[in-house]
Amino acid sequence: VKKGQTVAIVGATGAGKSTIINLINRFYELDSGVISVDAIPVEDYELSSLRNQIAIVLQDVFLFSDSIFNNITLKNPQISLEEVKEASKKIGIHNFIMTLPGGYHYNVKERGVMLSSGQRQLIAFLRAYVSSPRILILDEATSSVDSHAEQMIQFATDTITKGRTSIVIAHRLATIKKADKIIVMDKGVIVEEGTHKELLKKKDGYYKNLYDKQFSLELAS
């Protein structure tokens, strides 16, 4: 993956997409092969040094019982409220936060039960954006959200990945089509890679079949 590129990883459930995330972050250790950051194998980094360069947005967003501000900053005293507000404006969610009682001081309760799934995703995007990671890992949620939330999530995705090395386990067609490279996985193996247009040209390709079965329905809806 080149610096600043967005790579979308696609494949059926169980294809091995999440395993890649766990290997990059060293939640799992490699049995064979090499994963490098700046030409340095990940196992040669101090674990804290490696993970400080990476922000992860997972499908299951964890929020603790506290204010939106503290959930975003994780109580890092070096991040000010003004910085958080500026970042939220850039990714397009400031107005949504200000509709909540108390705005950035609104208590979301344990696991964010006071927010919808789409709103929790947006808070997770802001948390990642504020941390200014060199590398972003995004596991797009498969849960359905309303059209307005979908638009906000897509804008936030586009903003946070722009110019940043990003690895996305992609479920949204809009994200996949914009990726610099698509990696297609099946049963733990990379079976295809290329751009959206390149992969669609393969008549009996895995990606084209996946696109015809899954993403064409998204276009029709």
Q: What is the CATH number of the domain that holds 206?
A: 3.40.50.300
Q: Tell me, yes or no, whether 1 lies in a domain.
A: no
Compute the 3-state secondary structure of the chain and give helix, strand, coil in percent, each to the nearest 5: 45, 15, 40
pLDDT recorded at residue 36: 84
What is the domain range of residue 107?
Answer: 6-220
The mean per-residue pLDDT over the stretch 131-140 comes to 90
pLDDT recorded at residue 25: 84
Report percent pLDDT > 70 for the chain. 95
CA distances from 53 to 68, 115, 138, 152, 221 (A): 23, 28, 14, 25, 38
Q: Tell me, yes or no, whether 12 lies in a domain.
A: yes
Tokens of 100: 């909540």
pLDDT at 218 over 80: no
pLDDT recorded at residue 179: 92
Q: Tell me, yes or no, whether 131 lies in a domain.
A: yes
pLDDT recorded at residue 220: 53
Q: Are strands 189-194 and 181-186 parallel, antiparallel or unpaired?
A: antiparallel
pLDDT recorded at residue 141: 73
Give how many domains the chain has, as a whole number.
Answer: 1
Q: What is the mean pLDDT of the chain?
A: 88
pLDDT at 144 over 80: no
Q: Which residues contact 67 (CB under 8 A, 6 or more apart)?
A: 102, 104, 105, 106, 107, 108
pLDDT at 23 over 70: yes
pLDDT recorded at residue 219: 57
- For residue range 171-202, list pLDDT tens digits in order: 888 888 889 999 999 888 899 999 999 999 99
pLDDT recorded at residue 183: 93
State pTM to two decimals.
Answer: 0.85
- For residue range 46-56, list pLDDT tens digits in order: 888 888 899 99
The mean per-residue pLDDT over the stretch 52-67 comes to 89
SS3 state of residue 93: coil
